[in-house]
Amino acid sequence: MNLSDIAKQMIKEDTWGNNPSAAGSMSPGRSPTANPPPASSNVKFYDVKKDYTNFTSEIERQEEVVKKKFSDTLGKQFGNKKVTVRASKGSVGQVEKDYGITVATVNVVYLKDKFYVVFNGTDKAEYFVNTDFKVKVDAAAPEAPTMASGKVGNIVHPQVMGVSKPGTA
């Protein structure tokens, strides 16, 4: 036997399926022993995605309703009133201090995996309320002056601005 015949014999024996010791009990011509389940005519499939989408939509709708109700309740309690509140001014995560503000509106927002109560002051700033502390309600904010008949603010007759001689208007 020459060298090329020995090499061909080794290659033939080392390929999977031709060398029984390498393949174990499997060979390329043998089918697997697992049997597929028999087909059944009464098998049904149900798509859960549609119901899940409806479920999450309903949760979001209810969440908005509850947030609106909560912010309306807080708005009635604190709207147009001077309060002292422990809050962070401007955004979540700022240093918390006690602020004396006049509340214009109240919002409930969801940030960073948590709901926050936000007081919008008459100074146009946002105060993120620390809900672990009580809010001190000082008093109702003063009403804005209104235009009464012939009266602007507390002035009965408007002032004449400019230089004029006495007795002339």
User: From CA 106, how far away is CA 118, in angstroms rounded?
Assistant: 6
Q: Which residue has the higher pLDDT, 24 or 110?
A: 110
Distance between CA atoms of 167 and 126, rounded to whole angstroms? 53
User: What residues form DSSP beta bridges with 87?
Assistant: 97, 129
Instruction: Examine residue 19 and state whether it is found in any structural domain, yes or no.
Output: no
Domain count, the chain: 1
Within a domain: residue 100? Answer: yes
Give pLDDT, residue 140: 56
> Binning pLDDT at 50, 70 and 90, where does residue 167 land?
low
* Inside any domain, residue 111: yes
Please check whether residue 118 lies inside any domain of the structure: yes
* Residue range of the domain that includes 110: 53-141
CATH for 57: 2.70.180
Residue 159 has a pLDDT of 56
Residue 38 has pLDDT above 90, yes or no: no
Residue 82: inside a domain: yes
- Could you tell me if residue 78 is inside a domain? yes
Asked if the model's pLDDT at residue 2 lies above 60, the reply is yes
Q: Helix, strand or coil for residue 166?
A: coil
pLDDT tens across 62-99, in order? 999 999 999 999 999 999 999 999 999 999 989 999 99
Residue 107, pLDDT score: 95
Q: Is 128 exposed, middle or buried (0-12, 13-18, 19+ CB in 10 A)?
A: buried
Q: How far apart are CA 26 and CA 32, in angstroms?
A: 9
Residue 28 lies in a domain: no
Instruction: State the Cα–Cα distance between residues 162 and 13, nearest whole angstrom.
Output: 117
What mean pLDDT do residues 11-37 have? 60
Burial of residue 117, with CB atoms counted within 10 A of its CB: 0-12 exposed, 13-18 middle, 19 or more buried: buried
In a domain, 95, yes or no: yes
pLDDT at 3: 74
pTM, two decimals, is 0.55
Beta carbons within 8 Å of 44's beta carbon, 6+ residues apart: none
